Amino acid sequence: MLYHHFKKQTIYPQSGRQKVLSTILATCLFTFSPMVAVTANSAQAAVTTMDFSNLVTAVSPGVARVNVTKEISEAELAKAQQIELLRQFFGNRVNIPRSQSQPAIEHNYGTAFFVTDDGYLLTNHHVIEGADTITVTLNDRTELDATLVGSDERSDVAVLKVKAPAGTRYPALPIGDSNAVRVGEPVLAIGSPFGFDYSASAGIVSAKSRNFSRDISVPFIQTDVALNPGNSGGPLFNQRGEVIGINSRIFSGTGGYMGLSFSIPIDVAMDIYNQLKDTGEVSRAYLGVFPQDIDRNLAEAYHLERPKGALLTKVSADSPAQMAGLKSGDIILSYNGHEISLASDLINDVNRSRPNDRFEVDVLRAGKVIKLQGTLGLAPTDVTSDDMNEAVPTVRLGLRLRDMSAEEKRHLNSLGVLITAVDPTGLAARSGLQPGDVITNLHQVPISNVTDFATTVRQLPKEGVVTIEVIRQGLPIIIGLRIE
């Protein structure tokens, strides 16, 4: 991403790229009632009674600033910023012509921290995404070149490695238990907000297990710790100096801190770290259900004493859930002995499992509670079209897509590949392709799966217009895809 969306109540990954624009947009007026002001001051006073000075001194050596360089087109960067500003007024009708320019070097920054004494660090995926070079700066001003071991977009976790000279050991930070985190406990963050190195901020845990969407498989820890651009990838500490999370996102109308910050639980991050370090990729468990929360009315309809459980609105065909006997309309009350209060609880439990793990669920069906057992499968993986197209590097469509399930194919009565994400500055976006579109034909070649798409992309001309047939909201359309 070359820019971020600045809208009211938007979740932002916090990297250094948005520094200038967020500073401009942050000049807003806010009104506080006297009662709110008193409450906020009282809460802050309770937090500031904690003296973190010794803790900051002890853990700072394990925190590092991440410096990233990336070669981009100046025209693309300017275009991205112009489009976003204009869309605030004119919506998606904005269409700025592409201009030619010499590539430029973009400098971004974030934060990382050591998890082993031989040089492995954790940071955010969005901090190092698209980086050509990565360096880390220690608190004694030592600069080290870092290599990317692996990165996972869905969890926003990346693993870096610096080479340790003979006899050198780095100050790995102690890892805590994010499951033991309690709402209300004091926490500390250290990072480089707006480029200010080793800046500490404190607050409390506001909530746990916050989920934004099924595409972000993380039960975030919510805090009121001041996080800003540059804090991304930095550690969140408990009172004992143990890392309990990786600072990742904020909830903001301006792109800056507004009291809602989100951190990736360290147990989730360490699981991703171990997989990336061992295999270079992340395998996720798959159940194959579409759950929703139970509200007051549904609780009464299903004769529940209170709203609880995850109502299954759909069970995918040939999925582990279907093979275990789960059906649409079932309410999952517990998963492996863990009570399910919200649909997000079920999502979090599955996301923390591994493929081939056994599961047992208590299910409310037709007024009776039954037990069902099964084995989790391997979650489908999105594919980046640009990663498939190494043979023709000049054709960069800017798409993420995946094969459709058997049920999705039956529902559409068609073969094809599903677009899951579109880069707003890529060729696909400029031609009008959207997430949710199903590509059925590219350049007069039928597309049945990701392999077909990859093969066809490699054979596309380097410039000109090709046809692409998609199904959008059940209707077939043909789009002219301009390749430049």
Residue 411: count of CB within 10 angstroms of its CB: 12
Both 420 and 298 in a single domain? no
**Per-residue model confidence (pLDDT) at position 335:** 96
Q: Which residue, 282, 303, 326, sits at the end of a domain? A: 282
Phi and psi angles of residue 286, each rounded to the nearest 5 degrees, phi first: -135, 125
- Cα 272 versus chain centre, distance: 13
Mean pLDDT lowest among 95-104, 191-200, 398-407: 95-104
**Which pLDDT band holds residue 3 (cuts at 50, 70, 90)?**
very low
What's the distance, Cα to Cα, between the start and end of the chain in Å? 20
> In this structure, are 182 and 260 located in the same domain?
yes
* Residue 5 annotated as catalytic: no
- The total of structural domains in the chain comes to 3
Please state, in angstroms and rounded to a whole number, the distance separating the CA atoms of residues 302 and 159: 46
Listed in sequence order, the residues at least 6 apart from 55 whose beta carbon sits closer than 8 Å to its beta carbon are 188, 237, 239, 241
**What average pLDDT does the structure give for the chain?**
79
pLDDT tens digits, one per residue of 444-465 = 899 988 888 888 888 888 778 8
Q: Please determine, for residue 395, whether its predicted confidence score (pLDDT) is greater than 70.
A: no
In this predicted structure, what is the pLDDT of residue 85? Answer: 56
Could you say which of 156, 349, 382, 437 is catalytic? 156
Q: Is 126 designated active site?
A: yes
Residue 230 and residue 105 in one domain: yes
Q: Does residue 306 sit in the same domain as residue 240? A: no
Measured torsion, CA atoms of residues 424, 429, 432, 438, in degrees rounded to the nearest 10: -110
Residue 13 has pLDDT above 80, yes or no: no
Residues 161 and 251 in one domain: yes
- Rounded CA-CA distance 331/350 in Å is 16
For residues 28 and 163, membership in a common domain is answered with: yes
Q: Which of these is catalytic: 201, 232, 252, 385?
A: 232
pLDDT higher than 60, residue 21: no
Residue-level pLDDT at 354: 87
Per annotation, catalytic residue among 73, 126, 155, 261: 126
Give residue-wise pLDDT tens across range 323-353. Answer: 999 998 899 999 999 999 988 889 888 888 8
Alpha helices, DSSP H, located in 50-106: 53-59, 74-90
Q: Indicate the residue among 319, 350, 378 that finishes a domain.
A: 378
Catalytic residue list contains 232: yes
Reported confidence tier of residue 363, pLDDT bands at 50, 70, 90: very high
Strand partners, 344: none
CATH for 101: 2.40.10.120
Same domain, 164 and 41: yes
Q: Are 299 and 266 contained in the same domain? A: no
Instruction: Please give the average per-residue pLDDT across 223-235, as a whole number.
Output: 88
pLDDT at 14 over 80: no
At residue 87, does pLDDT exceed 90? no
Residue 236 predicted with pLDDT over 90:
yes
**φ, ψ for residue 312, nearest 5 deg:** -85, 110
Same domain, 121 and 263: yes
Q: Are residues 441 and 308 in the same domain?
A: no
Q: Which domain holds residue 120?
A: 1-282
Same domain, 121 and 55: yes
pLDDT digits over 91-136, tens only? 444 444 444 445 567 778 899 999 999 999 999 998 998 888 999 9
pLDDT confidence tier of residue 89, bands split at 50, 70 and 90 = low
Predicted confidence at residue 5, as pLDDT, reads: 33
The residue out of 259, 282, 305 marking a domain boundary is 282
Whether residues 60 and 88 share a domain: the answer is yes
Give the CATH number of the domain where residue 374 resides. Answer: 2.30.42.10
